[in-house]
Each structure stands twice: as structure tokens, then as C-alpha cells.
Amino acid sequence: MGRLDNQVAIITGGGSGLGKAIAELYASEGANVVIADMNLEAAEDTVNGIKQNGGQALAIKTNVTEENDIEQMVSKTVDTFGTIDILVNNAGIVDNMYAAANVPDDVWERVFNINVTGTMRTMRKVLPLFMEKKSGTIVNMSSVSGVAGGRGGLTYTATKHAIVGMTRNVAAHYKHLNIRCNAIGPSQVPTNLTNSIKQPDPYGMEQALAGVKMMHRPGTTEEIANIALFLGSNESSYVNGVIVTADGGWSAY
């Protein structure tokens, strides 16, 4: 018997990295998993792996900055699996470590559109279903940059702080309907996203990495997925509005 038996979970950005690890773990624990990702090929690869291991999964091409894509994501999930129980807002991008004095407008707008507006829109679309059911769980992906000021570029840091605020707001406003909303704040976890940083802002990178020597090791996708499993399951039924910082004690220093 799995910890998520008969639950239906949407994971945005589930085609690779943290999202893929979460999707695979959720499926192994009995959830019907929807992989919502801009990269349909990557989403389908994740789905194929899950199905080969006996799980149930569906790939849906989704750009979280497009309202029509979000509506299609939700409607296809309900049409296929009948409901939605868990939403994992994992889709996000980085900002090339731009410090405040160097942020280009296009970077600011793109990172906010995906990390913040995308998260808001997916929650906005799923919450009415949760309200009708009087149950539902949201797991948002923040970052150590959402609870500390100097660990990333300005734009990324601002978006991850915004996700922390939205998480607590939703938890406070919908708790009486048995709807929970929590977030995870990882530090460095090697994925295709973190490895995609090319020619970062030298000043921003230098400042952001100033405290890295205090971090004894990076995290793993499996470690973050285990936190997402706990927050998505009934084992965390009394946990609401919490940001679980996963950084090996780095931010405690």
C-alpha cells in the first residue's frame, strides 16, 4: 500500500530535475501523476519510465505563463483521472545571477512570469476544485533564496520570496476548507536547471557564492522529492503554511 494511493497529482516542470524525481516518487507511492511541462518530449519520457514501473501517468504540454495551457492542464487531468488532489508547483527558471544594478528588464519579466505568475495561475485554477471538495494539497517550490537574501540573483531571490508569501497566504485563507499549502526551500541541487547558468553576472555570482564554503555538500533530487512526498501525503496533515528549508544547515549559520 502506497502513501499516495488513489491520489491524483499534477507536477509542473515534471519532465526533468526535481520535478521528475518528485513525479517518479509520487507514482511509486500509488499516485496517478500528470507531468505538465513545456518540453513534451521530456514529459513523455518521464511518463514512459513511470509506466514501465507499473505506475499511471499522463504528459501534458504546459507553459505556465499561458492561461489556456493551464486550463487545458486542469481539464485534461480531471477528464482522465476524475479529480485533482495534489498540485506541485515546480516549474521555474533562474536569472543568471544578475545583481540589482545589472538586471535586464527582459530577465526580470521572464523570471517573474514563470516563477511567480505561473505559480499564481495554477493555484488560482485548482483552488475552486479543492474548495468544492473541501480538500487539497499544494506544494510550492521555493528556494533557500526565498528565506535568505544573498544566495542568488535579485530577480530569482524576489520571485522565491514571493512564493513564500503566496504559500503562507493560501494556507491562511483556505485552511478552514481542509486545503493545505506548503513550500520547499532547497539550496544547491545539481540539475539541468542549475547547470544551465551560462556566463553569469560576475558581480552577482561573486556575492551569491560568498557563503558557499559554509555548505558542506549539495543536495540531491531524491532528498527534495522525499520532502515533497511528506508534504503531499496525509503524514503532514497538520502542516500548513510552512517553508521546509533543505540546505544541510547552510542557512542556519
At residue 205 the predicted structure's pLDDT band, cuts being 50, 70 and 90, is: confident
Domain tally for the chain?
A: 1
- Residue 37 phi/psi, 5-degree rounding, is -150, 145
Rounded to two decimals, the pTM is: 0.93
In-domain check, residue 63 = yes
Q: Which residue has the cell 540531491?
A: 220
- Examine residue 249 and state whether it is found in any structural domain, yes or no: no
H/E element, 154: helix 154-174
Query: Considering the domain boundaries, does residue 212 fall inside one?
Result: yes
Strand partners, 182: 139
* Encoded amino acid at 81, one letter: F
In-domain check, residue 250: no
Question: What 3-state class would DSSP assign to 109?
Answer: helix
CB-CB contact of 232 with 224 (8 Å): no
Helix/strand/coil percent split, the chain, to 5: 50, 15, 35
Model pLDDT, residue 169: 98
Give per-residue pLDDT as tens, 124-177: 999 999 999 999 999 999 999 999 888 889 999 999 999 999 999 999 999 999
Q: Residue 220 falls within a domain, yes or no? A: yes
For the segment 76-115, what is each residue's pLDDT rounded down to a tens digit? 999 999 999 999 999 999 999 999 999 999 999 999 999 9
* Residue-wise pLDDT tens digits, 48-81: 999 999 999 999 999 999 999 999 999 999 999 9
Give me the helices (H) in 53-141, please. Answer: 67-81, 105-112, 118-133
Structure-block grid coordinates of residue 130: 479543492
Average pLDDT over residues 10-32: 97
For residues 39 and 36, what is the distance between their CA atoms, to the nearest angstrom? 9
Q: How confident is the model at residue 214 (pLDDT cuts 50, 70, 90)?
A: low
Q: Is 110 contained in some domain? A: yes
Buried b (16+ CB within 10 A) or exposed e, 207-220: bbbeeeeebeeebe
Residue 212 structural domain: 8-243
Report the distance separating Cα 205 and Cα 151, nearest Å.
9
The CA distance from 224 to 5, in Å, is 20
Q: Is the pLDDT of residue 203 over 90?
A: no
pLDDT of the residue at 207: 75
Catalytic, 203? Answer no
| Residue keyed to cell 556566463 | 199
> Does some domain include residue 83?
yes
Where residue 75 sits, what CATH number does that domain have?
A: 3.40.50.720
| Annotated catalytic residue, options 26, 98, 156, 174 | 156
Q: What is the pLDDT of residue 211?
A: 67
pLDDT at 194 over 70: no
Residue 54: all three cell numbers together: 507499473
Residue 86 included in any domain: yes
User: Quick one: pLDDT at residue 190?
Assistant: 78
- Percent of the chain topping pLDDT 70: 94
Q: How far apart are CA 244 and CA 235, in angstroms?
A: 15
- Residue 202 DSSP SS3: helix
pLDDT reported for residue 155: 97
